[in-house]
Amino acid sequence: MSENKHRVSRRQFLNYTLTGVGGFMAAGILMPMVRFALDPILKEEAGTEMVPVAQVKDLTTEPQRFDFKVKVKDAWYESEEPKSAWVYKDEKGEVIALSPICTHLGCTVNWNGDKAHPNQFFCPCHFGRYTKDGTNIPGTPPPAPLHRYEYKVKDGKLYLGKAKPRGEV
């Protein structure tokens, strides 16, 4: 075998070297971009986990307001969003956790906020009213019941998840 067959010409050497270095540099530039684009898809959606809100022993048959925070992820930005819930135990001992967001135009409802209509949730914006279980009262503006939070009880603590329309929880 002649030695010439194994020789690499200067032109070939430059081609191999430049292709290798060019590919390495291109990968170095493209990989972070690909990862950046796919990151939100690959990561588990934030804000889906349940957060501890109260001790179950502290719940009464009278709705109480609990404030808490949930982690919210908007694409690459993560933040904490303040939330509230009206929580009580019904006559069967079941936990009812209602969103305070009025289903009319999104104002905040209060329990016993209207002295003329006791034992109801009241929305001061347009005088919307709801019964204790969150049902909208006919003849008032809200078109639907208050949303209910998904919940679980673990180690004596009440955890709340997402608030969903009646029938979905």
Is residue 134 within the footprint of ligand FES (CB under 6 A)? no
Q: Does 131 bind ligand FES (CB under 6 A)?
A: no
The three-state secondary structure class of 78 is strand
Q: Compare residues 85 and 102 and give the one whose CB is closer to ligand FES.
A: 102
Residue 96 in tokens: 């009812």
- Please tell me whether residue 152 binds ligand FES under the rule CB under 6 A: no
User: Measuring CA to CA, how many Å separate 111 from each of 73, 100, 105, 118?
Assistant: 31, 9, 18, 9
Cβ distance to ligand FES smaller for residue 130 or 159: 130
* Minimum CB distance to ligand FES, residue 114 (Å): 12
The correct pick among 54, 70, 87, 123 for binding ligand FES (CB under 6 A) is: 123
The structure tokens listed for 30 are: 């493209």
Convert 99-155 into a string of H (helix), E (strand) and C (coil).
CCECCCCCCECEECCCCCCCCCEEECCCCEEECCCCCECCCCCCCCCCCEEEEEEEC
Q: Is 104 in the site for ligand FES (CB under 6 A)?
A: yes
Cβ count near 127 (within 10 Å): 13
Would you mind telling me the total number of residues written for the chain in this entry?
Answer: 169
Q: Are 158 and 95 in contact (CB under 8 A)?
A: yes
Stretch near ligand FES under the rule CB under 6 A, chosen from 14-22, 39-47, 119-127, 157-165 = 119-127
Which one of the spans 50-58, 73-81, 124-132, 145-153 is the region binding ligand FES (CB under 6 A)? Answer: 124-132
Note whether 142 binds ligand FES by CB under 6 A. yes
Among 43, 65, 71, 126, binds ligand FES (CB under 6 A): 126
Alpha carbon of residue 96 to chain centroid = 19
Nearer to ligand FES, 51 or 137 (CB): 137
Q: Which stretches of the chain bind ligand FES, using CB under 6 A?
A: 102, 104-107, 123, 125-126, 128, 141-142
